[in-house]
């Protein structure tokens, strides 16, 4: 959210950010906002994520099997439940803190901008009766579209399946089963984690899912250059690539390194903040593949220096990713498939080799692969040879760059910049104290009304009654005719 906060601050808005005491990303002091720090740990800190990623990597490198998949799902479910419990405790801590809550009420905020991955903002918006805007598409129980818009499972793949919008019968079957599993997890794990809290602080008539469905606006960090076409709603605003901008000049040492690549060009690699280190054997395989290339490589990596590292590879703790992607020497981006990195690659037209691990990463790079703008490699069977072959294919097959540059042109061809679109709609909600006219009230219907089950049953009963009446009348007439004929004879 940092980019949006800075832009709102530049337009004269005053922002307060609620953060946990162990917040990883969110600094307590900033020139762009004041902070409200909860004396309650979120559990979502650097140690937690590092341990989770390491564990998931260990499980998946043991090979693909049904048992491995079950272990993987179980591990993610356990860690997810821990995060739900921590988030619930943090919300209770804040709502019970009369001093902070009174200060919040006295400030007379105009709007709550929240990440829906936890219901913190949704609960606070309901409690304070404030308009609610969600930033990003991920809720604590799945992808946001499925909560608010018609979502036919026949051509809308769930995240985690890695399917496209053209599914075979068995893929559609798996998509439906995945949806059922997601709904079961919501009913048996997620809702019980917050049910008592919601009933205590918001009232007995408030349901967990209705807190998300009642949001005034959803800012989705995708666009339909990247996302598969699907039904949507008036209160969904697409701002994919909102953080992208023209490249700035590189720091002197990086510019010198990039220019030294000559005609061969530059490859950049980053696996994001969550995957800053790799198992030594895997890092050695990647470094060995890079060492054989004529290209220069800038690799964001915090682990121990790989034994096979070549002279053409520069390891850095941090790099200006957007500026490197926009550099004319850059030929290829090796990435984990996070939303921001994928959008920046599209913006600058740089083809991608995806090494996805967790969350939405596999599906993000799969979307690029379907469009011919990238290639996905399996992190868990990766070898020097496989990695080298993948790099050579994307570098030397011109279709990858051509397809990615076509996506870039489509993405850039918009009447407004994505950030300007996001800011307009945030301020729109503030000006009008909500955007209820854009929000469907369908979530207030019981399930049988929403799916018209009661209407179908009524029509079915009516048709059956008419048929029964006709049959009865014909039977009666037939009987009368037969009796009359017998008497006449």
* 348 neighbors 408 (Cβ within 8 angstroms): yes
Instruction: State what percent of residues in the chain have pLDDT above 70.
Output: 97
Domain 252-412 is of which CATH architecture? 3-Layer(aba) Sandwich (3.40)
Find out if CATH 2.60.40 is the number for domain 1-243+416-444: no
Cβ-based neighbours of 119, under 8 Å, separated by 6 or more: 87, 91, 140, 194, 208, 211, 212
DSSP 313: E
Report d(CA 41, CA 86) in Å as an integer. 7
Q: How far apart are the first and last CA of the chain?
A: 94
What is the pairing mode between strands 330-335 and 313-316? unpaired
- Asked if the model's pLDDT at residue 39 lies above 80, the reply is yes
Domain ranges (residues) in the chain: 1-243+416-444, 252-412
DSSP 35: E
- Range list of H helices, 292-383: 321-325, 339-348, 361-370
Report d(CA 295, CA 330) in Å as an integer. 10
Cβ-based neighbours of 305, under 8 Å, separated by 6 or more: 315
What was the pLDDT predicted at 487?
Answer: 66
What was the pLDDT predicted at 33?
Answer: 96
What was the pLDDT predicted at 413?
Answer: 95
Cβ-based neighbours of 56, under 8 Å, separated by 6 or more: 72, 75, 76, 357, 358
Same fold, 1-243+416-444 and 252-412: yes
* 443 neighbors 209 (Cβ within 8 angstroms): yes
- Asked if the model's pLDDT at residue 415 lies above 70, the reply is yes
Out of 70-79, 237-246, 281-290, which region has the weakest mean confidence (pLDDT)? 70-79
pLDDT in tens, 151-183: 999 999 998 888 999 999 999 999 999 899 889
In whole numbers, what is the pLDDT of the chain averaged over residues?
Answer: 90
pLDDT band at 20 (very low <50, low <70, confident <90, very high): confident
Report d(CA 171, CA 361) in Å as an integer. 19
- Asked if the model's pLDDT at residue 450 lies above 90, the reply is no
Query: 349 vs 180, 361, 377, 407, CA distance in Å?
Result: 37, 19, 20, 7
* 331 neighbors 393 (Cβ within 8 angstroms): no
- Asked if the model's pLDDT at residue 213 lies above 90, the reply is yes
Report d(CA 82, CA 366) in Å as an integer. 29
What was the pLDDT predicted at 63?
Answer: 67
Out of 42-46, 233-237, 247-251, 275-279, which region has the weakest mean confidence (pLDDT)? 42-46
pLDDT band at 466 (very low <50, low <70, confident <90, very high): very high
Q: How would DSSP label each residue in 67-99?
A: HHHHHHHHHHHHHHHHHHHHHHHHHHHHHH-HH
Phi and psi angles of residue 19, each rounded to the nearest 5 degrees, phi first: -135, 155
What was the pLDDT predicted at 407?
Answer: 97
- Asked if the model's pLDDT at residue 272 lies above 70, the reply is yes
pLDDT in tens, 346-385: 999 999 999 988 778 889 999 999 999 999 998 778 899 9
């Amino acid at each position: 959210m940092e980019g949006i906060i800075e832009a709102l601050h530049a337009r004269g808005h005053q922002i307060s950010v609620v953060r946990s005491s162990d917040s990883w990303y969110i600094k307590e002091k900033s020139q762009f906002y004041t902070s409200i720090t909860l004396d309650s740990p979120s559990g979502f800190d650097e140690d937690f994520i590092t341990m989770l990623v390491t564990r998931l990597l260990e499980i998946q490198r043991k090979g693909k099997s049904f048992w491995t998949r079950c272990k993987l799902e179980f591990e993610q479910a356990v860690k997810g439940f821990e995060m739900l419990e921590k988030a619930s405790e943090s919300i209770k801590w804040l709502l019970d803190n009369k001093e902070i809550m009174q200060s919040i009420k006295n400030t007379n905020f105009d709007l709550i901008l929240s990440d829906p991955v936890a219901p913190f903002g949704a609960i606070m918006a309901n409690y304070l009766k404030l308009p609610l805007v969600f930033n990003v598409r991920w809720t604590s129980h799945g992808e946001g579209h499925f909560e608010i818009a018609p979502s036919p499972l026949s051509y809308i793949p769930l995240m985690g399946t890695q399917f496209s919008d053209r599914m075979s019968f068995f893929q559609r079957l798996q998509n439906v089963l995945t949806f059922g599993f997601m709904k079961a997890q919501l009913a048996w794990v997620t809702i019980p984690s917050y049910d008592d809290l919601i009933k205590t602080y918001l009232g007995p008539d408030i349901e967990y899912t209705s807190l998300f469905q009642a949001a005034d606006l959803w800012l989705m960090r995708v666009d339909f250059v990247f996302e598969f076409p699907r039904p949507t709603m008036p209160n969904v605003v697409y701002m994919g690539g909102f953080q992208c901008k023209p490249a700035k000049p590189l720091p002197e040492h990086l510019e010198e390194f990039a220019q030294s690549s000559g005609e061969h060009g530059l490859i950049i690699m980053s696996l994001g903040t969550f995957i800053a280190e790799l198992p030594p054997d895997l890092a050695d395989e990647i470094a060995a593949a890079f060492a054989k290339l004529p290209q220069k490589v800038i690799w964001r990596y915090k682990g121990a220096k790989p034994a096979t590292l070549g002279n053409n590879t520069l390891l850095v703790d941090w790099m200006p990713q957007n500026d490197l992607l926009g550099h004319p020497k850059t030929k290829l981006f090796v990435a984990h498939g996070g939303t921001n990195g994928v959008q920046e690659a599209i913006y600058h037209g740089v083809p991608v080799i995806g090494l996805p691990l967790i969350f939405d990463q596999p599906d993000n790079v799969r979307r690029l692969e379907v469009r011919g703008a990238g290639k996905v490699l399996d992190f868990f069977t990766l070898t020097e040879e496989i990695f080298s072959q993948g790099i050579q294919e994307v570098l030397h097959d011109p279709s990858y760059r051509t397809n990615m540059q076509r996506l870039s042109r489509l993405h850039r061809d918009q009447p407004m910049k994505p950030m300007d679109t996001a800011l307009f709609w945030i301020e729109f909600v503030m000006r009008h104290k909500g955007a209820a006219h854009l929000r469907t009230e369908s979530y207030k219907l019981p399930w049988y009304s929403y799916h018209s089950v009661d209407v179908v049953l009524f029509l079915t009963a009516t048709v059956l009654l008419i048929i029964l009446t006709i049959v009865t009348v014909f039977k009666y007439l037939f009987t009368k005719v037969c009796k009359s004929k017998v008497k006449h004879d």
